């Protein structure tokens, strides 16, 4: 039997943990592999890390807003398997994945109309099924068929709305038939009757109604020959363009005055434009990547989207906000690949199971990385916390050394760090290291100087040197002795810092590092002593609280996260939250200084705070009208343990952060960048496997699902499992 291979995993985010998870699911894996995770600081999670703050009732402090989409088949499959192996007592909190996730269907977009922000509520239907059981390869005719029924629904709703608008606006002539869906199809099919008979002999000649004709077309459309498919596309393209022209002609005059009609028009125009553009640009034959040379808005304009209402509409802005799609965080520079974002949009809308979203019922650290850690630890994976990986050293075709700084020492009686703490019978990650496990002198220095061991710009090396008279201890891992294979699980922005010698040798890896951009993000959380209803938000269908996007910059996204109230304790006697609000957005950063500029995090942290306070003072009244106005905010609604804190000072006891570190920045899909993504084993270094939502996955977008797919691909490249990863191709 061959000697087992030692695998060094750099980083502890979703991709790295997924890689380790599937490697340990192979039969007799411990006879084949010896796996060690090297993690900066005291916790796993990467961009998904969260912590519990014991000073404020063990409240949950996140990197940002984390909600899973219902099409995340790979991510749900993985975490469901992890929960089975976690095997918690049935009476314990989050004992099963069903307790850890709850479906969510209520989304709100914000529209700026006549200098007023108006809420656009959208409630998605619940679709039966387990989100782990899905197929992310989109069936071509499922797209067309489903989109058609959405359009049919939108257009049918015009009937009553147009009648109402006509009654209100008698001076306007509405040349619009009230049986709109049937009429437009009757008119089009009458023009094309002869062509339809020639092209589709298999369709019935006797057409009772045009609507029946189209629905039968969808049922029988898929054909075996290229010629027949082309004919279908020609017919469908003609049909869709005629329908789009009809929408523009009939409704343009009344869109400005009627919000409901305008919103229906925008959704119909957006859907038609996407379908028309997919046909015209050959997406149906070649996949979505073929249109990635366009920004999404550029592509919509190219294919005739209404520039007055659709191109900068709330649904379009909402998707840019969703993926932080702003170069350098500059909100005047939106940029996302058309193909990548449309692929994601269609998967979100067409392939979800349960709810279109799923909310975690605790922090992401508690819900995802606690089970990952405890399962992997039980399986025999080793974890080296406080291990700052400084550099990978290559020869021509492999990684030969890994240089590491040991950030802190444990107290002499310990040989291993235990990272988790119990909170209400749930294993959680603390918001700071477990100082009682560290060398007492070093722990005291860390606390006195408020050192963040996760920061790229940390003052800790300087303070350590000043106190002990020597640099922080380092070690070098050697190929063949300490490792055989390396899984690089850090983000793409870390490449130039950790892998400069690799970039100098590997042109493809260098281009990936340069072309695949990442953006800083910012977030804040507030805890209030009033309920969401008492703040003034009224719209909550069937008790579902809002997840909102497209609001003011910065912090364009908001979610009520009150499902977490039962996971947190009172801050003090009589000081208990009734509402938790999460906000986030991209953060503008034009230049990242050298790591010697240790004040840079403080400056960005202060900017994030200023943006949050400004939103509460001057903009939140659009959402919370009972506690605010255009120039006033009732600061007393914010929880505070200190009775002396008044007005804005009460914000000091809330939570905010600036995610500027290379490992924390969100991976973008700017136009023309997907072509530079590499496979997990796509570098010239034979023992290196890159992983993360920045590699080529088939989804190619910054999200948990892409990160999970990357980790699965890494495991498959090493051991052959898992064999099936859904969503690696566009169409089935």
Locate 310 and state its tokens: 């659709």
pTM of the shown model: 0.91
pLDDT of residue 200: 35
Token output for 165: 């608008």
Compute how many other C-beta atoms are within 10 angstroms of the C-beta atom of residue 197: 11
pLDDT tens profile 692-708: 999 999 999 999 999 99
Give the CATH number of domain 5-99+361-517+677-719; options: 1.10.3720.10, 3.50.50.60, 3.40.50.2300, 1.20.58.390: 3.50.50.60
- Reading the block at residue 481, the tokens are 């002795």
**What's the confidence (pLDDT) of residue 240?**
84
pLDDT bracket for residue 213 (50, 70, 90): very low
Q: For the segment 604-616, what is each residue's pLDDT rounded down to a tens digit?
A: 999 999 999 999 9
Nearest Cα residue to 407 out of 420, 392, 389 = 389
User: Average pLDDT, stretch 267-290?
Assistant: 93
The tokens for 26 are 């192979």
Report residue 286: phi and psi, to 5°: -115, -5
pLDDT band at 236 (very low <50, low <70, confident <90, very high): confident
CA dihedral of residues 201, 203, 206, 207 (deg, nearest 10): -130
- Among 3-12, 196-205, 220-229, 467-476, the least confident range: 196-205
| Range(s) within the chain of domains with CATH label 3.50.50.60 | 5-99+361-517+677-719
Half-sphere exposure (CA, 13 Å, Cβ side) for 324? 26
Q: Is the peptide bond before 554 cis (omega within 30 degrees of 0)?
A: yes
What is the pLDDT at residue 57? 98
Of 656, 429, 406, 336, nearest in space to 524 by CA:
656
**Residues with Cβ < 8 Å from 85, sequence gap 6 or more?**
371, 375, 378, 379
Q: Pick the closest to residue 718 from 696, 689, 679, 684 (CA basis).
A: 689
Strand order through the sheet with 116-123 = 116-123, 106-113, 547-549, 557-560, 579-586, 521-528, 655-659
Bridge-based pairing state of the strands 106-113 and 59-62: unpaired
pLDDT > 90? residue 714: yes
Q: Please give the structure tokens belonging to residue 227.
A: 């010629």
- Round the average pLDDT of the chain to a whole number and report it: 89
What is the per-residue burial (b if ≥16 Cβ within 10 Å, else e) of 601-628? beebeebbbebbbebbbbbbbbbbeebb
At 496, the pLDDT band (50, 70, 90 cuts) reads very high
Which of the two residues, 134 and 113, has the higher pLDDT score?
Answer: 113
Chain segment 462-495, per-residue pLDDT in tens? 999 999 999 999 999 999 999 999 999 999 999 9
Please write down the HEC assignment for all residues of 123-139: ECCCECCCCCCCCCCEC
At 151, the pLDDT band (50, 70, 90 cuts) reads low
Task: Inform me whether the pLDDT recorded for 64 exceeds 70.
Answer: yes
**Quick one: CA torsion of 335, 357, 348, 587, rounded to 10 degrees?**
0
d(C-alpha 279, C-alpha 231), whole Å: 12
Residues in a beta bridge with 224:
none
Question: By C-alpha distance, which of 188, 223, 224 is closest to 207?
Answer: 188
Please tell me the predicted confidence (pLDDT) of residue 2: 60
Which phi and psi angles does 631 have, rounded to 5°?
-135, 15
Cis peptide before 722 (omega within 30 of 0): yes
Residue 137, pLDDT > 70, answer no
Rounded to whole angstroms, the Cα distance separating 138 from 459 reads 49
For the record, the structure tokens of 14 come out as: 């979703």
Angle subtended at Cα 629 by Cα 623 and Cα 635, rounded to the nearest 5 degrees: 90
Alpha carbon 199 to its chain's center: 43
Question: Whose CA is closest to 526, among 460, 483, 495, 571?
Answer: 571
522-564 confidence digits (pLDDT tens)? 999 999 999 999 999 998 988 899 999 999 999 999 999 999 9
How many whole angstroms separate alpha carbon 542 and alpha carbon 654?
Answer: 29
How long a stretch of residues is the chain?
A: 732
Percent of the chain with pLDDT strictly greater than 90: 78
pLDDT at residue 141, as a whole number: 57
Max CA distance (Å), the chain: 92
d(Cα 337, Cα 625) in Å, to the nearest integer? 37
With a cut of 50, say whether residue 120 has pLDDT above it. Answer: yes
422-431: b (≥16 Cβ within 10 Å) or e: ebeebbbbbb
* % residues pLDDT > 70 (the chain): 86
When pLDDT is averaged across residues 100-117 and rounded to a whole number, the result is: 96
Residue 152, pLDDT score: 58
Q: Which two tokens stand for residue 106?
A: 């209520």
* Cα dihedral value 684, 401, 35, 474, nearest 10: -150
């Amino acid at each position: 039997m061959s000697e087992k291979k030692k695998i060094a995993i750099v980083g502890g985010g979703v991709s790295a943990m997924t890689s380790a998870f599937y490697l340990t699911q192979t039969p007799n894996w411990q006879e084949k592999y010896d796996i060690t995770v090297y993690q900066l600081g005291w916790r796993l999670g990467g961009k998904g890390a969260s912590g519990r703050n014991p000073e404020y009732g063990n409240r949950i402090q996140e990197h940002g807003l984390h909600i899973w989409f219902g099409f995340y088949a790979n991510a749900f499959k993985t975490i469901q398997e992890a929960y089975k192996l976690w095997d918690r007592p049935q009476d314990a909190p989050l004992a099963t994945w069903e307790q850890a996730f709850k479906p969510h269907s209520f989304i709100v977009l914000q529209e700026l109309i006549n200098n007023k922000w108006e809420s656009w509520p959208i409630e998605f239907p619940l679709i039966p099924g387990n989100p782990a059981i899905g197929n992310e390869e989109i069936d071509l005719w499922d797209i067309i068929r489903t989109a058609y029924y959405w359009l049919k629904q939108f257009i049918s709703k015009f009937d009553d709305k147009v009648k109402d608008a006509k009654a209100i606006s008698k001076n306007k002539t509405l040349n619009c038939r009230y049986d709109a869906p049937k009429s437009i199809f009757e008119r089009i099919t009458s023009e094309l009757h002869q062509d339809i008979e020639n092209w589709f002999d298999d369709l019935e000649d006797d057409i009772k109604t045009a609507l029946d004709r189209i629905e039968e077309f969808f049922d029988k459309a898929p054909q075996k020959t290229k010629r027949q498919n082309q004919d279908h596309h020609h017919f469908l393209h003609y049909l869709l363009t005629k329908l789009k022209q009809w929408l523009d002609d009939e409704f343009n005059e009344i869109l400005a005055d009627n919000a409901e009609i305008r919103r229906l028009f925008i959704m119909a125009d957006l859907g038609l434009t996407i379908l028309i553009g997919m046909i015209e640009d050959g997406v149906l034959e070649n996949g979505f990547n073929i249109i990635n040379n366009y920004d999404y808005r550029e592509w919509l304009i190219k294919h005739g989207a209404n520039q007055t209402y659709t191109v900068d509409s709330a649904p379009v802005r909402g998707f840019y906000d969703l993926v932080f799609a702003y170069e350098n965080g500059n909100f005047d520079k939106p940029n996302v690949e058309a193909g990548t974002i449309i692929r994601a949009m269609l998967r979100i809308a067409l392939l979800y199971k349960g709810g279109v979203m799923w909310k975690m019922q605790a922090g992401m650290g508690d819900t995802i990385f606690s089970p990952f850690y405890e399962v992997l630890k039980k399986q025999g994976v080793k974890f080296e916390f406080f291990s700052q990986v400084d550099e990978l050293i290559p020869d021509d075709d492999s990684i030969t050394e890994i240089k590491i700084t040991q950030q802190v020492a444990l107290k002499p009686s310990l040989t291993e760090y235990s990272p988790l703490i119990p909170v209400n019978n749930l294993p959680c990650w603390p918001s700071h290291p477990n100082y009682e496990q560290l060398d007492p002198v070093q722990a005291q220095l860390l606390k006195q100087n408020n050192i963040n061991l996760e920061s790229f710009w940390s003052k800790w090396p300087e303070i350590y040197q000043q106190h002990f008279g020597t640099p922080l201890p380092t070690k070098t891992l050697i190929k063949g002795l300490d490792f055989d294979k390396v899984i690089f699980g850090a983000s793409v922005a870390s490449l130039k810092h950790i892998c400069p010698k690799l970039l100098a040798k590997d042109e493809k890896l260098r281009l990936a590092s340069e072309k695949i951009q990442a953006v800083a993000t910012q977030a804040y959380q507030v805890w209030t002593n009033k309920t969401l209803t008492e703040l003034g938000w009224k719209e909550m269908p069937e008790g579902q609280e809002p997840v909102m996007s497209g609001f003011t910059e910065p912090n364009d996204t908001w979610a009520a996260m009150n499902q977490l109230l039962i996971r947190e304790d009172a801050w003090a006697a009589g000081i208990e939250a009734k509402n938790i609000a999460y906000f986030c957005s991209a953060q503008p950063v034009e230049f990242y200084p050298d790591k010697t500029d240790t004040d840079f995090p403080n400056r960005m942290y202060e900017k994030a705070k200023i943006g949050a306070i400004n939103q509460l003072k001057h903009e939140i009244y659009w959402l919370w009208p009972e506690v605010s106005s255009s120039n006033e905010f009732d600061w007393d609604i914010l929880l505070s343990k200190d009775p002396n804190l008044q007005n804005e000072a009460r914000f000091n006891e809330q939570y905010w952060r600036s995610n500027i570190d290379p490992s924390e920045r969100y991976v973008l899909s700017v136009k023309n960048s997907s072509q530079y993504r590499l496979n997990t084993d796509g570098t010239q270094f034979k023992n290196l496997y890159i992983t993360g939502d920045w590699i080529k996955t088939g989804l190619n977008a910054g999200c948990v699902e892409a990160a999970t797919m990357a980790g699965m691909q890494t495991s498959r490249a090493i051991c052959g499992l898992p064999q099936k990863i859904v969503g690696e191709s566009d169409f089935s």
